[in-house]
Structure formats: structure tokens, C-alpha cells
Structure 1
Amino acid sequence: MKKKLLFIIPSLSAGGAEKSLVNLLSTMDASQYSVDLFMFSDEGLFRNQLPEWVRILPKNTGLHDFQKPLLSSFLSFIKKGKFLLAKSRLQFFLKNQFIQNKGMAEQYSWPYLRNACTTLPDEYDAAIGFLEKSSNYFVVDRVRAKKKIGFIHNDYQQLALDKHIDEPYFRELTSVATVSEECVEVLKEEFPQLKNKFKLVPNIVSSRLIHSLSGEYSIDLHPNEMVSIGRLHSQKGFDLAIEAARILKNKNISFHWSIIGEGSEREFLQQMIDRYQLQHHVSLIGLRDNPYPYIKAAKVFVQSSRYEGKSIAVDEAKILAKPIVLTNFSTAKDQIEHSVNGLIVEMTPEAIAEGIMKYLEDYSFAEKVSAQLASGNFGTEHEIKKFYQLINE
């Protein structure tokens, strides 16, 4: 009999965790597992990439009404006589409105969102919250399962969350998975009393699929094209990238930089581009269903993040043998060996620009790095065994 699994994630919008989930589900053995997926918002860039055998669960009416705009949601609950939910919707709004740290806002507002979520009807062999905060909380509070597993996809210390909220939830989980050895150690340091719960389950990246998708269409880019991928969020350090682009321009370097992604910082970043008159050098090109032809055609891949768990985009660039400039966030050395298969630089615009110039000006070095990457096997399909062990142990 197939094991029955449930995954929880807020949505399948563009992001590393969302891509990681799609990769994981696409690698799983459908003859051994049946999978339900619950999303708070049934949408996103990766929604159409789900395997057909995954069943998407509908939202209950209360949650549907809760996610309407504030006034519409509030009035809907009042008309239905659901005064507790009306109050919860207002409290949810206030928490998210006035707490500046969005991660903490999600933590503190969960009790109000929870009131709109009913317990799912089925029982599962294992339920997996695939992203920190609400997904993990939902698994504990609104799911019946023999095993309950949480995921943390970032360096926990950098997330700046209230660990006093997470700790009781972690205690209720069978285990908490994260994506790199460094992230495991950080969790053990933050929650020493729970250290046996923390497990390593790396992201799944398919080299065969990425090579295939990279040839799906061709694109004509600048001879010195840089490409970066990620949410337009302070975590990804695109402000540092734009400052680095300004330095390159001032040095009369010929280049163009495509930044693929969307997010809350779009207006801020575009203002930076305009202020520095970089409109012909840096483009925020939005989301792409298939960004791999851009990576394939690029001269350099740049990851300017302030922190990461383990960057899927970097692993994908490695598979396509692209010279990489990577900022020295805490898990960078898990992915790149400096000056061997990439460059790890300080988290400053000057260092990022210097790393890019090293590749552009030293052709033999760029070729050496690319050849080193091409000789490796960076697909991680085999890591599915660690996930199977997690749900079966």
C-alpha cells in the first residue's frame, strides 16, 4: 500500500523553497507514495510544473473568506455571524500592518489565521511543512499524521524570527529538516535542547532537466552578460549588485546585467537604476518560467545574497558550468570552492565588481572555472534517499 503524504506550503510563487518542492515531488516514486498538497494560496510560477499525480487540496470557506481584502473579509464574516473570525481578520491585519519584520509578523499573526483554517479531514503517514513559520505551524495545529516534519530553508539566525514561538512547535514535530550542514549547526546552536530533531535534507536539483530546459529556446544577450535570479528582496542583495554595476560603468566596462525575479523591492531597485543612469546596463526583467537559457547564455552568474540556506540558483548555474561570483554568506563555502569552481567575495559592491572583472578580464581563468564545473556532477537527485529516510525512519 502506498504511503500517504501531505505537503504544506504558502504558495508556489517564485522562490527557492517552492522550486525545491516541485523538484522533490518530480523526483519521488509515485508507485510508492500518494501525495496531497495544501497551499494557502493556490497560485504561483511553479504551479503548472507539479506532477499530475499530486492532488491539490481545496481551501475551506473560512480561509477563502479570510484572504479577501480586509473590508470585504470582515463584512463577509459579520454577515455570516462569524464574529470570532471577523475579529481575527482585523487582528491579523493589524499584526501585519505594524510589525516591520515580516517574518515575525507572520509568526505573531498565525493564531488569527489559524482560526480560519479547519483541520484537514484525512490522516496521513507523514505531513511535511515545507517552509518555515506558517507551513510548520499548520502541520502541528491542523493536521492529523503519524509523523509531522518541518522544514527551514534558510540560515535560521539570519531570519531574525522569535524562537520562543518556534520552539514549542519544533517540540511537536517529529523532525525538522534543513538544506545544508551549516543550517543544521545553526539550528542546533539556537535550540540545543532539540538538537536530535534537526536533519539534513538537501535541495533536489536535476542536471538532466536543467540541461534540457536550457536548450528550450535561444536568447541573444550582451557578450558580457551577467545574470542573477531571485526574489527582489533585501535578502538577495540586489542593491549591492546595482551598486557593483555602477562601479563597472564608471570603469568603462562594457556589460549588461539581467536580474530575473519579482518582489517587494522592485520600485526601490528601479529607482536605484534610474538614479545611477544604469537603464542600458541593468534590467529587472521579471519572472521567467524557464530562466535556464539566460544562465546558459550569460558570461557570469552573480549571487549577491546577504544570506541563504543553500541557493538552488547557484547549483543550477554550476550544472550549466557558468563562472559564478558568490557573496560570502554563511553557507557559501558549501557550494563553491573559492578560485577553483567559482569566486566567493566580500559582501560589498566593490568586491562583487572586482569578482566580475576578474572573469571578464582574465579569459583563461574564466575558462578554467567553467571547465572545472563542466567536469563535475552537481545534480542531486540521489539526495531523495535522505527525504525517504526522514519519512520512513
Structure 2
Amino acid sequence: MLSPTHSEQKANVVAFAFLLIAFLTGIASSFQLPTLSLFLSREIHVSPFLIGLFYSINAVMGIALSQILARYSDKLDDRRKIMMICCLVVVCGCLIFAYSRNYYVLAFLGTFLLGLGASSNPQSFALAREYAESSGREAVMFTTIMRTQISLAWIVGPPLSFSIALGWGFDYMYLVAASAFLLCALISVLLLPKIQRSSQQKSVATNISTKSDKKSIFYLFITCFLVMGCNGMYLINMPLYVIHELHLPERLAGILMGTAAGLEIPIMLLAGYLTKFLSKKTLILTALCAGLLFYLGLFIAEKTWELIALQLFNAIIIGIVATIGMVYFQDLMPTQMGSATTLFSNAAKSSWIVSGPLAGIIAEHWHYSSVFYLAFGILIIATLCFAQVKSA
């Protein structure tokens, strides 16, 4: 029989494994997403519209494949196998991006592999929630701390990715991302626990619980979809806006993303702590107000320090929605952790279907800064939609 000390050490190793996986997947995604528009522009030499279209194709692949895997995973005894397979698939996708410069190969085969493998992230959070509940940990704070690892990765990831891509080449950058996912696959098999779920839980997981408010789930999905859509347009156009319209250094884009990610960490932890005193709805409404201030500020900010200062408001909306929003879905769908977490993840992915082409069309026909005006209007609609979600 394990001694209390040994059991505690084992629990610490498991918790560390979850945090390390979140950090590594965050590093890998922070390498790919911020530099993708620059990669397509410089390496493939395509138009802004085709850049936006690429994001949409990537989103469609990811949504369809991850939702299928999510429903399947809720019926399985062991999520770790899916996580391992997904990580290995992403490794293959990164290798294609490293060595292929054909737009159509990347847009279909590359995005297919990345989309299939992207399920590793929501599956890790679903397993973490199940582990927290089965081990008696405080689920919201454990999920929040795990989510902060992604933000921590985004502090160093974007500046490092731009440095590697601009200094050594995009092929080296994608090889580093592949290495991170390969390590995640090993950790999933060797360190993460198998969470035993009852047959009753698995049978209920095939459908949304009758206790779940489907209207609230729908409006919460739309809210997250619109918020992440605004953020997607910002991420796509911001590097090009900084370089071509403000005529500021190229590396500033990475610094802005890293600054926002760094500020997200204390905001996430604070939001997780405040759930003991405030409803999740109140916290997300606060985040939406901060988002409106962020896009208002982008209308007039032209200097480096102004753009950096605005990242506080950007961090508030993304930090709270990305953490509390995911827990919100899990609370509304308590018997379907895989589907709930993937539904939240797909709200962000599906936003790229619209935000990608919109960002490209607006930039091609008007200005990169015009995207921020559209984002402000969309965020107002998101606030009205979230008002329809029941408090949690």
C-alpha cells in the first residue's frame, strides 16, 4: 500500500505532467499562429485573401475532426491514447510545413494533419477536469492554473518564433514545434493517469444532459465565437499593420503578443480565485467591457508604448474568456467533458472560418486598421448574446 507521502509525490508528478503538456502545446501553437500570415506572405508569396482563406481551411479541418474525436473520446476508458495519437499526427503536420512550399499541399494535407492533431489540447483539459474531480482537487483553479501555462508559453513563444523564423528560417521554427508535440506524446503515455469512468457516465455522454440549458450553450458558443473571431482578425492583421502602416519594427508584433500573454497569467489566476465570490457571468461581462476598450484604443494608438499599454485590456478579455469560458461549458455539460471542452475550442476554431477571409478582404480593399473597427462592432453583438446566457 502506498504511503501518504508517496501518494502525494505521485499526485505532484501528475499535476506537473498536466502543466508541462499545457506549456508545450502552448509553445508549439505560439510558434505557428503568430507567424503564419508572415510565412504565407514571404515563403509562399500569396495574396492577403489567400492568407485569410488558408486560416478558414485550417479551421474547417480542425472543427470537423476534433468534434468527431470528442464524441468518440467521451465513450472511451482512456483519453491518453487519443492525446498521444493526436500529438504524433501534429508532428507529421509540422514536418510538412517545414519542408513544403506548395500552397495547396499546405492548405489541405498540412491543415488536415494539424486539425486532426489539434484535439490533443482540449482532450488534455478534459482529462485534467476529470482528474481534478476524481482526486478531490478544486477543479476551477486547477484548470485555471493549467490554462496559465499556455499564456506563459505565449510570453516567450511569439518573440522566439519571430527570432527563429527571421534569423534561421521557417523550417527550423516548425521543427522546434514538432519536437514539442513529440515530447507531449511521450508525457501523455508515461506520466498522465488513466481516469476510470463508470458505464453510466459513458452512456449519458452520448447526448447533452436534459439538465443542461441548450439555449445557454448556444449563446455561450456564439459569444465565444465572436470574441475569438475578433481576436483572430487582430492576430492576422496586427503584424502586417505594425509593419506596413505604423512602420514599426517587425519584432514588435511578437513583443505585443508576448506582453498580452504575460499579463493574462495574473488575470487568469485572479479570475479563478474570484469565482468564489463572483459569478462566471459577471467575470465574462467584465472581460467584454475590457475588450471594447481595447479596440477603441487601437483606433488612436500609433506609438510603441501605446500599443504595449493596450495589451492590458487585450489580456483581460482573452484571459477571462479563455479560462472561465471553458469552465462555463463544462458546467453546462457536466457529463460530457470531452465534448464540452472541444465545443469551447471549436468556438475559437470556427471563428477563423469567418475572421480569416474578413481580415484578408478588408486588408486587401481598405486598410489593415479597418479590421479593428469591425471587431469593435462584433464585440458589441457578443455582449448582447452573452446577456442571454444563464448565470453560472
More helix, by proportion:
2
TM-score normalised per structure 1: 0.24
Using CA pairs below 8 Å that are at least 6 residues apart, which structure has the higher relative contact order? 2
More strand, by proportion:
1
Larger radius of gyration: 1
